[in-house]
Amino acid sequence: MARTGRPREFDRDKAIDAATALFWAQGYEPTSLTQLKASMGHISPASFYAAFGSKEALFREVVQHYLATYGQVMAPLWDESLPPREAIERTLRGSARMQAARTHPTGCLVVSGASNCSPENEPVQALLAAERQRTRAGIKACVERAIARNELKASPSTDILPNILATFFHGMTCEARDGMTVDTLDAAITSLLTLWDINTVKPLKNRQKNTENTGVRL
Amino acid sequence: MARTGRPREFDRDKAIDAATALFWAQGYEPTSLTQLKASMGHISPASFYAAFGSKEALFREVVQHYLATYGQVMAPLWDESLPPREAIERTLRGSARMQAARTHPTGCLVVSGASNCSPENEPVQALLAAERQRTRAGIKACVERAIARNELKASPSTDILPNILATFFHGMTCEARDGMTVDTLDAAITSLLTLWDINTVKPLKNRQKNTENTGVRL
DNA sequence: AGACTTCCATATTAATCGATCCAGAAATTA
DNA sequence: TAATTTCTGGATCGATTAATATGGAAGTCT
Q: In which band, very low, low, confident or very high, does the pLDDT at B120 lie, cut at 50, 70 and 90?
A: confident
**Domain final residue pick, B23, B49, B66:** B66
Q: Is residue B188 part of a domain?
A: yes
> Looking at residue B127, which CATH number applies to its domain?
1.10.357.10
pLDDT in tens, B57-78: 889 989 999 999 999 999 999 9
Checking B46-54 for CB contacts under 8 A at 24+ apart, the result is B47/B8, B47/B10, B51/B8, B51/B12, B51/B15
Average pLDDT over residues A200-217: 50
The pLDDT score that the predictor gives to residue B6 is 65
The pLDDT score that the predictor gives to residue B211 is 39
Do B79 and B182 lie in one domain? The reply is yes
Contacting residues of A for B182, CB less than 8 Å apart: none
Q: Is residue A78 part of a domain?
A: yes
Q: Is residue B212 part of a domain?
A: no
ipTM of the complex in this document: 0.88
pLDDT in tens, B146-172: 999 999 999 999 999 999 999 999 999
- Least confident span in A9-13, A171-175, A206-210: A206-210
Q: Which residue range is the domain that position B62 belongs to?
A: 12-66
Do B105 and B55 lie in one domain? The reply is no
Q: How far apart are CA B89 and CA B186, in angstroms?
A: 10
Task: Quote the number of domains for chain B.
Answer: 2
Q: Is residue B2 part of a domain?
A: no
User: Taking each helix axis from N to C terminus, what angle separates A182-192 and A84-100, rounded to the nearest 10 degrees?
Assistant: 160
Cα of A95 to nearest chain B Cα, Å:
14
The pLDDT score that the predictor gives to residue A211 is 39
> If you average pLDDT over every residue of chain A, what do you get?
90
The pLDDT score that the predictor gives to residue B204 is 53
> Looking at residue B20, which CATH number applies to its domain?
1.10.10.60
Q: In which band, very low, low, confident or very high, does the pLDDT at B177 lie, cut at 50, 70 and 90?
A: very high
The helix, strand and coil proportions of chain B, stated in percent and rounded to the nearest 5, come to 65, 0, 35
Q: Is residue A177 part of a domain?
A: yes
> If you average pLDDT over every residue of chain B, what do you get?
89
Q: How far apart are CA A37 and CA A18, in angstroms?
A: 9
Q: In which band, very low, low, confident or very high, does the pLDDT at A213 lie, cut at 50, 70 and 90?
A: very low
Q: Is the CB of B167 under 7 A from strand D?
A: no
DSSP per position, B63-99:
HHHHHHTGGGGGGGGG-TTS-HHHHHHHHHHHHHHHH
Do B59 and B36 lie in one domain? The reply is yes
Q: Is residue A33 part of a domain?
A: yes
DSSP A43: -
pLDDT in tens, A50-103: 889 889 999 999 999 999 999 999 999 999 999 999 999 999 999 999 999 999
Do A62 and A84 lie in one domain? The reply is no
Average pLDDT over residues B186-210: 80
Question: What is the interface size between A and B, counted as CB pairs within 8 Å?
Answer: 147
Do A61 and A152 lie in one domain? The reply is no
- Least confident span in A196-200, A211-215, B26-30: A211-215
B156–A167 C-beta distance less than 8 A: no
Q: How far apart are CA A3 and CA B28, in angstroms?
A: 45
Do A35 and A137 lie in one domain? The reply is no
Q: Which helix (H) or strand (E) holds A180?
A: none
The pLDDT score that the predictor gives to residue B205 is 53
- Which has more pLDDT, B53 or B79? B79
Do B27 and B45 lie in one domain? The reply is yes
Phi, psi at residue A79, to the nearest 5°? -95, 100
Give, in Å, how far the C1' of D27 lies from the CA of B5: 6
> Looking at residue A94, which CATH number applies to its domain?
1.10.357
Residues in a beta bridge with B200: B152
The pLDDT score that the predictor gives to residue B216 is 37
Give, in Å, how far the C1' of C27 lies from the CA of A156: 67
Q: Is the CB of A12 under 7 A from strand D?
A: no
Cα of B217 to nearest chain A Cα, Å:
33
Q: Is residue B211 part of a domain?
A: no
Q: Is residue A112 part of a domain?
A: no
Do A60 and A80 lie in one domain? The reply is no
Average pLDDT over residues A100-110: 97
The pLDDT score that the predictor gives to residue A1 is 42
Do A153 and A87 lie in one domain? The reply is yes
Do A22 and A90 lie in one domain? The reply is no
Of chain B, the percentage scoring pLDDT greater than 70 comes to 90
Do B118 and B195 lie in one domain? The reply is yes
Do A128 and A195 lie in one domain? The reply is yes
B49 alpha carbon, distance to own chain's centre: 29
